[in-house]
């Protein structure tokens, strides 16, 4: 006789069966996985056999989402496209898809929420996670692209993190639109969907020292990255923290790159807002926002100088040598 735990897992598998159209997911870069290791996504879409995974945490998230939706609905929040009415949106040209958690439709703004449950031990100073921000940015752009809305109604997003041990412990982050996200992700989608040999794809799971490989990937054996990470670490100087520092440095660099993309999108949104208001300066709370035209920087065209027969070498100076550290993925 099976235990109740075994029967519970069997039943949850039955309830989840057919929840997703796997063929459709295999044909697109899915927003919820867009920032995960590119090799992992390739294996998932090409029928590779992986280790069995425990989906308990994912199911916790599903039930947490149901609680949030039911609570917001009871509070008369105009939340639409949830549950069985959830939207599955695809950009056929860029091969990107998303399933938003819903849309809160106010008269002047549509708020696209993304609901996440987190472990009570989560370090909240590390939130929001760049992967969750990108997931929501993709969803907002697909909504803008494919769903008609009244003229003048804007779209914005909010990431909501709920403590899985205390449903009233909520942390929210506003997420503005990133209008360039679909074009940015199109290259990644093309690489995943068109690559024939996984050896041509980077082992991105290594970027955090193999943490993603160990805890969130069932294709470690097929990929070989787990053993490679272990070998790399054994070759490092065990008497120092250099290897850990390099891994942490690379992780921060990844976050920095994502922040640069988000900042660039926000800069354009602010500039457009100032132009729409026909002003070059506004106050937002205690934040001063201004736009000015700076004079172009003067530079010396060395090729033109050389072509004119002028030798500048006698006027050149050489500074003191300095160290240059390069940290990049192999």
List of domains in the chain? 19-199 (3.90.320.10)
Band of pLDDT at residue 239, cut at 50, 70 and 90: very low
- pLDDT category at 17 given cuts 50, 70, 90 is low
User: Which residue shows structure tokens 């500074």?
Assistant: 319
Encode burial over 40-72: b for 16+ CB neighbours within 10 A, e otherwise. bbbbbbeebeeeeeeeeeeeebeebbeebbeeb
The confidence band for 226, taking pLDDT boundaries of 50, 70 and 90, is: low
- pLDDT at site 6: 75
Q: Which position has the higher pLDDT, 87 or 209?
A: 87
**Residue 299 vs residue 147, higher pLDDT:** 147
Residue 213: asked if its preceding bond is cis (omega within 30°), the reply is no
- pLDDT at residue 240 is higher than 60: no
pLDDT for 21 equals 60
Predicted model pTM = 0.66
Output the pLDDT for position 122.
Answer: 85
pLDDT at 71: 95
The yes-or-no verdict on residue 16 having pLDDT over 90 is: no
The DSSP-derived string for 122-189 is --GGGPSPHHHHHHHHHHHHHHHHHS---TT-EEEEEEEEEETTEEEEEEEEEE---TTHHHHHHHHH
Is the pLDDT reported for residue 223 higher than 50?
Answer: yes
> For 60-118, what is each residue's pLDDT tens digit?
778 889 999 999 999 999 999 998 899 999 999 999 999 999 999 999 999 999 999 99
Report the distance separating Cα 204 and Cα 35, nearest Å.
10
Whether 3 contacts 157, CB under 8 Å: no
- Poorest-confidence range of 145-149, 207-211, 271-275, 283-287? 207-211
Residues 308-320 have pLDDT tens digits of 888 888 878 887 7
In this prediction, residues 31-45 reach a mean pLDDT of: 89
Q: Comparing 325 with 148, which gets the higher pLDDT?
A: 148
Q: Which residue is associated with the tokens 């159209």?
A: 21
pLDDT for residue 300 is more than 90 = no
- Placement of tokens 């929001």 in the chain: 128
pLDDT bucket at 275, cuts 50 / 70 / 90: confident
pLDDT band at residue 271 using 50, 70 and 90 as cut-offs = confident
Name the least confident of 22-26, 169-173, 189-193: 22-26
């Amino acid at each position: 006789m099976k235990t109740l735990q075994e029967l519970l897992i069997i039943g949850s598998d039955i309830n989840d069966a057919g929840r997703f159209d796997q063929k459709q997911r295999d044909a697109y870069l899915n927003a919820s996985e867009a920032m995960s290791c590119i090799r992992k996504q390739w294996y998932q879409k090409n029928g590779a056999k992986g280790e069995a995974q425990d989906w308990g945490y994912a199911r916790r998230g599903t039930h947490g989402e149901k609680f949030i939706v039911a609570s917001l609905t009871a509070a008369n929040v105009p939340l639409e496209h949830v549950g069985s009415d959830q939207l599955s949106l695809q950009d056929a040209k860029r091969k990107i898809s998303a399933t938003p958690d819903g849309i809160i439709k106010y008269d002047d703004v549509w708020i696209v929420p993304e609901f996440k449950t987190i472990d009570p031990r989560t370090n909240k100073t590390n939130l929001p996670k760049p992967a969750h921000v990108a997931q929501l940015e993709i969803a907002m752009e697909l909504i803008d692209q494919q769903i008609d809305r009244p003229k003048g109604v804007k779209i914005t997003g909010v990431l909501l993190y709920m403590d899985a041990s205390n449903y009233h412990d909520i942390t929210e982050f506003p997420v503005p639109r990133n209008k360039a996200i679909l074009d940015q992700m199109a290259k990644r989608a093309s690489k995943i969907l068109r690559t024939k040999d996984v050896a041509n794809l980077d082992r991105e799971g290594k970027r955090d020292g193999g943490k993603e490989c160990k805890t969130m990937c069932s294709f470690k054996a097929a990929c070989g990255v787990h053993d490679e990470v272990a070998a790399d670490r054994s070759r490092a100087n065990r008497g120092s923290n250099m290897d850990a520092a390099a891994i942490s440095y690379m992780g921060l660099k990844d976050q920095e790159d994502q922040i640069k993309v988000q900042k660039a999108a926000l800069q354009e949104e602010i500039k457009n807002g100032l132009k729409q208001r026909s002003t070059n300066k506004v106050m937002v709370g205690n934040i001063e926002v201004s736009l000015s035209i700076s004079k172009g920087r003067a530079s010396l065209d060395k090729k033109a100088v050389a072509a004119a027969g002028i030798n500048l070498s006698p006027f050149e100076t050489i500074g003191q040598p300095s160290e240059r550290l390069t940290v990049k993925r192999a």
